[in-house]
Amino acid sequence: MLHGRSAELTALDRLLADARAGRSGVLVVRGEAGIGKSALLDHLARRALEPGSTDPAGGQGSSGDERHLPASDGERHLPASAGEPELSYPAGKMKSGVPLAGTSAQHGFRVLRGTAVESESVVPFAGLNLLLTPVVDRVPALPPTQAAALRAALGLVPPSGNGNANANSSGDGALVGLVGLAVLTLLADLAEQGPVLCLVDDAHWLDEGSARALVFAARRLQAEGVAVVFAARDLHAPPFPAPGLPELRLTGLDPASAAALLDEHAADLPRYVREQIAVEARGNPLALLELPAAQREGHLPAATAHRVAALPTHSRIQQTFADRIGALPERTRTLLLVAAADDTGDPGTVLGAAALLGASVTDLEPAEQRQLLRSDDGRLAFRHPLIRAAAYRSASLVDRLAVHRALAEALEDDHRAAWHLAAAATGPDEDVAAALVRTAEHARARGGRASVASAYQRAAELSPDPLHRGRRLVAAAGAAGEAGQFDRAAVLAERAWDVLGDPVEVARAARIQARVAGERGRSAEAAATLARAATCAARTSPELAGELLFSAAQHAWAGRDFAVLRQVAEQVGDLPGAADTRAVERAALGLDGGDVPGGMTALRGLLDSSYVAGTGNPVRAWWHLVLGDDRAALAEAAELERGSRARGALGVLPRALAYLARGRLHLGRWREARATAEEGLRIADDIGQGFSVVFLVGVLAELAAVEGDEERLAGLVARQSAEPPGSVRAACALALLDLGLGRHEAVLERLADVAAGAHRLYAVTSLPDLVEAAVRVGDRAAAEAPAAWFAEWAEHTGQPWAEAVALRCRALLTGDERQFARAGELHRATDDRPFERARTGLLHGEWLRRARRRSDARTHLRAALEVFERLGAVPWANRARAELRATGESRAAAGPNPLSALTPQELQVVRLAAEGLSNRDIGAQLFLSPRTVGYHLYKAYPKLGVASRGELARLDLAG
């Protein structure tokens, strides 16, 4: 019986009921050591195996919430994959027999459970391996790319296998995301046969790869019938970050529950002793159970219990365990120390190492009698992690070193043995360092970059040769950067500079530092670092130096540090790639300075540079956007997205999605833009790509602004970085909202500095907003400079939409209606930028109404209103309606577009289904389970007025 946990048990039972009903759920249980997290997981596992558990809401197996495929009379038709027949099932049932709503499940869950171990936190995907070992036979059924990634992560292929095909290009976060997608698909496949419960205890000790992959999968569970629960310690442990996942925080038991627990387990102790223990335990259940045991064994006399009252609960319990361990026979203590230092739990390994130190299996008995150690499914396990910690930390350094040496000798796994040898080393040792290097490369083959970093860092510390030390520090820094550990990567790379002499190795260190600085938005710092490395490489490797300087120039431009950019252009001399580097300088200084035509010409030339050749470089899409060519940018981004998905290259995908979303936004495909940006943002957050977050949030913020959603915009702006370009994009989005709502003074305040500053290029499409606001408040002087700069830029884009907007700005300033008319003609010559076309029509209509040409005004205002309504630009549609009413027309709103009823994810799914992709293929592209894809299709069909998958292809889904 669990005392004092009724609310928590209700929440957990609800999780099981939802999973039985076909809805997935995730929960992170947090609390201090001993607070009862593991006990709740034990309860959950028992309940999951009971047939037809009673739902806390009432009905057996019923969720009490029928939002997911609600039951009704008749039959449900669930969307099948392409090429599969549409199948019918009784209401509330799926083909697996798992109830969808209001139906009892008469079988238990498949339970996957694992407990992370501190000593395995450096072993790549150790936690995932432990959790998924019972179901590895299902891996071959996964999509090939996912199966390859998961095989590599679980060590099911040798280091030379193909499972790591994309690791070098995508980085650890990207590969972990692909592993997470494989875990998601695997769990969904298992759920086809019945609900699945996945329990992860001591999640704070998970290796980083396992933690990120599991959280990646957990955040994408929706309609599979999978319940996932993580238990993580709050204090005295590494953090377990799980953003976006619901949490259940455990606190101490109330006095009545604590007293009941003591009455149940310590009735043999006098009441006054139990009362002292209750005060001492402060509601911690483990303390309530362990302090009586310590009292019985004489390690916590009641008269002196107050001596540890000032210690935190974690320390009190651990000291209690240490005292109890200290009273054991010496050889039993030795055996416990071996078990604590071991990370396998394998009795053969533990007893083999203990035998080298004079202990044997008979020495286990005292530890078992005192319930410190037990045999659990053929593995030796401590009853609580704090016992393991106490056994290890209470031992002397000499004893710990001896135990690690014994374990290294007893282990058959060379890679685990290498870590024990490293733990036993007391000074530089090349043999041990070389063994760790082999371990690092083994970890790299499995995709665990954080583990690679740890192994190389320790190898560097043990390296007697400075050259080896420097190279290993560079390798550690590179792996840390790929794992998203940017602080660590920066420190390691800086340490490598101090000992490296080889310019190629120096360049590797510089690239790592530049990447870290770039991800943090410190582009100018990245440029300076690369330029410094190029100086080192210029004499011995001129091609490398030229490449470094080209990259340095790009970073300097991104950071708007034109002084560094000029220095880089001077430094390039006659090195290879010198012309391209100088072209970056001309493009930057021209577009952000006074030579817009020269800047645009230089930028067009850069598209032919060998450094950015092909369609695999995100910068090409960005340059097309700067050139105003939305369709070319969209094509580049779409090709990059397709290639990234096909290769599983999640490291590139967020940037591709950022530019794809921007292109779709400009071309009026707003719902697609939102879905694309939201997907990109989820992935960027999951794999730690801060630089992409700026651009993705920027797209979503602009959408919120044009739709008039102030609350959503405020939340997005709060996510945006405080430094450019994030701050610039935030200001532009806020100004666009203000303009739509008629707050013209606020527009001037937000954009005045942006328009005149060094980051004007990020705000180029917002300059017309500034012009319009300035004219509205009568400050034409404030409008002249931005209007002139935009006009010059528009002229050299060669894009009709840009020239039309420039003419609109001039018409506002001069009042010349002919320029409005010419702008309208240019807009109508292309489908690009429909929002800008509607804005031009709105302003033209307003001008005509003021000129008392009401009939002419209505034509333009009606066309503008139609576009605003179709796009969902609420403030702008309201303005157009108000103008129409002022002309004497009362016009009803247009009927809603059926696509407007779809969620962004439903829209993505429907479009891919219409192209003929199967549910499994759609899931692989959108990082969803096939079952969730089917759920979204099921929800979308009635909204679109279709009854089957085949009808989707006949719909116009491009609106």
Domain CATH code at residue 162: 3.40.50
Confidence of residue 300 (pLDDT cuts 50, 70, 90): low
Among candidate residues 828, 861, 832, 827, the one with its CA nearest the CA of residue 844 = 861
Same domain, 266 and 173: no
Sign, CA torsion 856/862/867/869: positive
Question: What are the C-alpha distances in Å from 312 to residues 32, 33, 303, 319?
Answer: 10, 10, 20, 11
Residue 910, pLDDT score: 85
pLDDT digits (tens, 9 = 90+) for 472-499: 998 898 888 777 677 788 888 888 877 8
Model confidence at 74, in pLDDT bands (50, 70, 90)? very low
Q: Which of 517, 594, 593 shows the shortest CA–CA distance to 551? A: 517
Domain identity same for 286 and 350: no
In-domain check, residue 483: no
Residue with tokens 């190898």: 459
pLDDT of 35 > 90? The answer is no
Whole-number Å distance between alpha carbons of 295 and 293: 5
| Predicted confidence band of residue 299 (pLDDT cuts 50, 70, 90) | low
Calculate helix-pair angle for 834-850, 874-886, nearest 10 degrees: 20
Encode pLDDT of 216-270 as tens digits. 999 999 889 999 999 998 876 788 988 889 999 988 888 888 888 888 888 888 7
User: Residue 197: pLDDT above 90?
Assistant: yes
Which burial class, exposed, middle or buried, applies to 868 when counting CB atoms under 10 A from its CB (0-12, 13-18, 19+)? buried
Amino acid at 4: G
Q: Do 770 and 655 fall within a single domain? A: yes
479 falls within a domain: no
pLDDT of 812 higher than 90? yes
- Angstrom distance (rounded) from CA 146 to CA 506: 35
Q: 367 and 319 share a domain?
A: no
Instruction: Grade residue 848 by pLDDT with cuts at 50, 70 and 90.
Output: very high
pLDDT(522) > 60: yes
Provide CB contacts within 8 A for 424, sequence distance 6+. 401, 402, 404, 405, 408
pLDDT value at 774 more than 90: yes
729 and 774 housed in the same domain: yes
The reply to whether 462 falls in a domain is no
Q: Residue 687 falls within a domain, yes or no?
A: yes
Residues 213 and 349 in one domain: no
**% pLDDT > 90, the chain:** 38
Instruction: Let me know: does 432 contact 408? Beta carbons within 8 Å.
Output: no
Determine the distance from the C-alpha atom of residue 507 to the mean position of all C-alpha atoms in its chain, rounded to a whole number.
29
Question: What is the CA angle 345-384-327, rounded to 5?
Answer: 95
Phi-psi region of 68 (alpha: psi -120 to 50; beta: other; left: phi over 0): beta
Q: Which of 291, 308, 325 is the last residue of a domain?
A: 325
Residue 751: band (very low, low, confident or very high) from pLDDT cuts 50, 70, 90: very high
The stretch 712-739 carries a mean pLDDT of 90
Asked whether the predicted pLDDT for residue 461 surpasses 70, the reply is: yes
813-838 tens-digit pLDDT: 999 999 999 999 999 988 899 999 99
Say whether pLDDT at 898 is over 90. no
Which of the given ranges, 383-387, 445-449, 793-797, has the highest pLDDT on average? 793-797
Q: What is the pLDDT of residue 758?
A: 65
What is the per-residue pLDDT for 387?
81
Shared-domain flag, residues 811 and 854: yes
- Asked if 958 contacts 670 with a C-beta cutoff of 8 angstroms, the reply is no
Structurally, how many domains does the chain consist of?
A: 5
CATH number of the domain that 382 lies in? 1.10.10
Q: How far apart are CA 410 and CA 351, in angstroms?
A: 9
Residue where a domain stops, chosen among 325, 346, 379: 325
The structure tokens listed for 418 are 């290498």
Beta strands 25-31; 247-249: pairing state? parallel
Is the per-residue pLDDT at 436 higher than 70?
yes
Cβ atoms of 186 and 220 within 8 Å: the answer is: no
Segment 561-572 shows an average pLDDT of 89
- Please determine, for residue 666, whether its predicted confidence score (pLDDT) is greater than 90: yes
Give domain status of residue 476, yes or no: no
- The answer, yes or no, to whether the previous bond of 329 is cis (omega within 30 of 0) is no
Q: Is 465 inside a domain boundary?
A: no
What is the rounded distance in angstroms from the CA atom of residue 918 to the CA atom of residue 216?
23
Please state, in angstroms and rounded to a whole number, the distance separating the CA atoms of residues 429 and 422: 9
Q: Is the pLDDT of residue 174 over 70?
A: no
pLDDT tens, 105-163?
A: 345 789 999 888 887 787 888 899 889 989 999 999 988 888 888 888 888 876 444 33
pLDDT computed for residue 314 by the predictor:
58
Q: What share of the chain is helix, strand, coil (3-state, %, to 5)?
A: 65, 5, 30
Domain endpoint, select from 203, 228, 249? 249
CATH number at residue 934: 1.10.10.10
Give percent of the chain above pLDDT 70.
87
Please tell me the predicted confidence (pLDDT) of residue 739.
95
What CATH number should be reported for the domain holding residue 774? 1.25.40.10
At residue 173 the predicted structure's pLDDT band, cuts being 50, 70 and 90, is low
Q: What would the mean pLDDT of 884-898 be, rounded to a whole number? A: 69
Same domain? 817 vs 843: yes
Beta bridge partners of 380: 375
Among 87-101, 516-530, 698-712, the range scoring the smallest mean pLDDT is 87-101
Task: Name the DSSP letter for residue 429.
Answer: -
Together in a domain, 276 and 135: no
Instruction: Give the lowest-confidence range in 275-284, 687-696, 886-895.
Output: 886-895
Indicate whether 656 belongs to any domain.
Answer: yes
More confident residue, 161 or 852: 852
- DSSP labels, 799-843: -HHHHHHHHHHHHHHH--HHHHHHHHHHHHT--S-HHHHHHHHHH
Domain that holds residue 843: 648-897
Contact between residue 446 and residue 479 where contact means Cβ atoms under 8 Å apart: no
Query: Same domain, yes or no, for 241 and 261?
Result: no
Is there a contact between 843 and 868 (Cβ–Cβ < 8 Å)?
no
Residues 6+ apart with CB under 8 A from 395: 333, 337, 403
Residue 765: helix, strand or coil by DSSP?
helix
Residues 788, 858, single domain; the answer is yes
Claim to verify: residue 774 and residue 892 sit in the same structural domain:
yes
| Tens of pLDDT, residues 364-410 | 899 988 888 887 767 888 877 678 878 888 899 999 999 999 999 99
Give me 156's structure tokens. Answer: 């099911």
Domain contains 472: no
Model confidence at 959: pLDDT above 80: no
Q: Which residue in 149, 165, 267, 157 sits closest to 209, CA to CA? A: 149
Helices (H), 538-615: 542-558, 562-572, 578-591, 596-606
Token pair 């995907």: residue: 125
Q: What pLDDT does residue 92 have?
A: 31
The answer, yes or no, to whether residue 702 has pLDDT greater than 60, is yes
Mean pLDDT of the chain: 82
What is residue 252's DSSP assignment? P
What's 876-940 look like in SS3? HHHHHHHHHHHCCCCCCCCCCCHHHHCCHHHHHHHHHHHCCCCHHHHHHHHCCCHHHHHHHHHHH
Task: Give the tokens for residue 68.
Answer: 């997911």
Residue 771 to residue 812: CA distance in whole angstroms: 8
